[in-house]
Amino acid sequence: MKKIILFTILLVSICLLIFSLYRLDKMEIKASDIRDITFSSGKNTLAGSLYLPNTQEPHKVVVFIHGDGAADQTLQGGYNFIINHLLHSGYAVFSYDKAGVGASSGNWLEQSMKDRAEEVLQAIPTIKESIQIEAIGTLAFSQGGWVTSELALADAPVDFYIVAGGAIDWMDQHLYYETGYAKSQGFSAAETQKYLDYIKKSDAFVVANDYAGYQKYVKSYEYGQPMSQERFNFAYINHTANATKGIAKIQAPFLGLFGEEDINVDVQNSMSVYEKIFKENGKTNYKLYLLKDANHELLDSKYNKNNDIVTFDAFLYGEKIFADGALDTLTYWLNKTLSQ
């Protein structure tokens, strides 16, 4: 009997080991070649990787534009499934460490959205020096939508733009996010109004660039701790960010991907603004998709509940953690757009 139990335990352990190795392998980036690329923008040197598919040159390249936070090239592995999906579909991917992250110099908290757009403008010719290119464009996540707007204003030499979960106005987005937070905490109507009044006053200190006043005000309440001086300065630098002027300048084909369950961004507002501006300008080469059950990261909303970057769900289910159709819509649109 003991031998049977031991054998069963051993068999289960072997199966779990095989499954774990298989799942871990699936989470690794499957590029045929990875080229390290560095480039300069302003005073900073940025370090990136060019992931190549198993196809011959010239390549179609997707340049990733990060959202908020200290993001490295793969978002600590959070991009891996997206990168692999693109590679499998024949697209090269370029992504780089944000300023001050990984091997990149500088400090992303000192940057405006225009500064970040300038990085992309400097990266493109460097990529073209490394490989032959058939087409090149950008895939921007969240805050990267404002970077996309700045690229359009600069008439960037790109063949397409893709924005996932992009907001329109910086300050409006913050208020929307905090409204959702109040709801998630179960605040009453009166408590919600009090909290949002507090947020508006806090934001007023940002607009006035008054960190001392901001600190004193936030500490007089029990909602949370003040932002760091660096984060406050970042908010001040970018508080006027608004995508509308840039949206009006978008000439290249555009794809907007939005999650129906996004609690960070008012996606209905974003989609209506894009739609309105594009129609007013007679633009027809665009698509806007509202993905069912998708959250801000385009994951199925039942996964990633704790907002971890690489979760146990990703280990278990692989790219199935993405909302139905999210990755396929991305590559389908690229295939159709770049074949025309």
Using one digit for the tens of pLDDT, what is the confidence trace for 40-92?
999 999 999 999 999 999 999 999 999 999 999 999 889 999 999 999 999 99
Backbone phi, psi, residue 99, to 5°: -55, 125
The string of DSSP letters for 215-279 reads HHHHHTSSS-PPPPHHHHHHHHHHTT-BSHHHHTT--S-EEEEEETT-SSS-HHHHHHHHHHHHH
Q: How confident is the model at residue 302 (pLDDT cuts 50, 70, 90)?
A: confident
For 252-271, what is each residue's pLDDT tens digit?
999 999 999 999 999 999 99
Give the Cα separation of 322 and 340 in Å (integer).
28
pTM: 0.91
What sign results for the dihedral spanned by CA atoms 276, 277, 281, 287?
A: negative
Q: Which of 24-28, 105-109, 116-120, 275-279 has the lowest mean pLDDT?
A: 24-28
Is the pLDDT confidence value at 144 over 50? yes
- Which of 89-98, 227-236, 259-268, 315-324 shows the lowest per-residue confidence on average (mean pLDDT)? 315-324
- Give the pLDDT score at 303: 76
pLDDT number for residue 328: 97
Paired tokens of 248: 């009006």
**How crowded is residue 23: how many other Cβ atoms within 10 Å of its Cβ?**
14
What pLDDT shows up at residue 21? Answer: 47
**Would you list the domain boundaries of the chain?**
1-30, 31-169+241-338, 172-222
pLDDT digits (tens, 9 = 90+) for 31-43: 999 999 999 999 9
At which residue do the structure tokens 């794809």 appear?
Answer: 255
Across 87-104, average pLDDT: 98
Residue 306 has a pLDDT of: 59
Interval 193-219 mean pLDDT: 97
Q: Does residue 314 surpass a pLDDT of 80?
A: no
Residue position matching structure tokens 């780089």: 96
Torsion of CA 217, 221, 225, 231, to 10 degrees: -30
pLDDT, averaged across the chain: 92
Q: Is the pLDDT of residue 250 over 60?
A: yes
Is pLDDT above 90 for 23? no
pLDDT higher for 245 or 308? Answer: 245
Superfamily the domain 31-169+241-338 falls into:
Alpha/Beta hydrolase fold, catalytic domain (3.40.50.1820)
Residue ranges of E strands in the chain: 33-41, 44-52, 59-65, 91-96, 133-141, 160-164, 254-259, 286-291
pLDDT band at 9 (very low <50, low <70, confident <90, very high): low
- In the chain, the amino acid numbered 90 is G
pLDDT band at 317 (very low <50, low <70, confident <90, very high): confident
Q: pLDDT over 70 for what percent of the chain?
A: 88
Whether the pLDDT of residue 307 is over 50: the answer is yes
Q: For the ranges 151-155, 214-218, 302-306, which has the lowest average pLDDT?
A: 302-306
CA distances from 80 to 25, 27, 31, 86, 257 (A): 11, 6, 11, 10, 18
Q: Which of 74, 124, 77, 69 is nearest to 95 (CA)?
A: 74
Provide the pLDDT confidence category of residue 320 given band limits of 50, 70 and 90.
confident
Residue 145 has a pLDDT of: 98
What sign results for the dihedral spanned by CA atoms 166, 171, 174, 180? negative
Whether residue 308 is predicted with pLDDT greater than 60 in this model: the reply is no
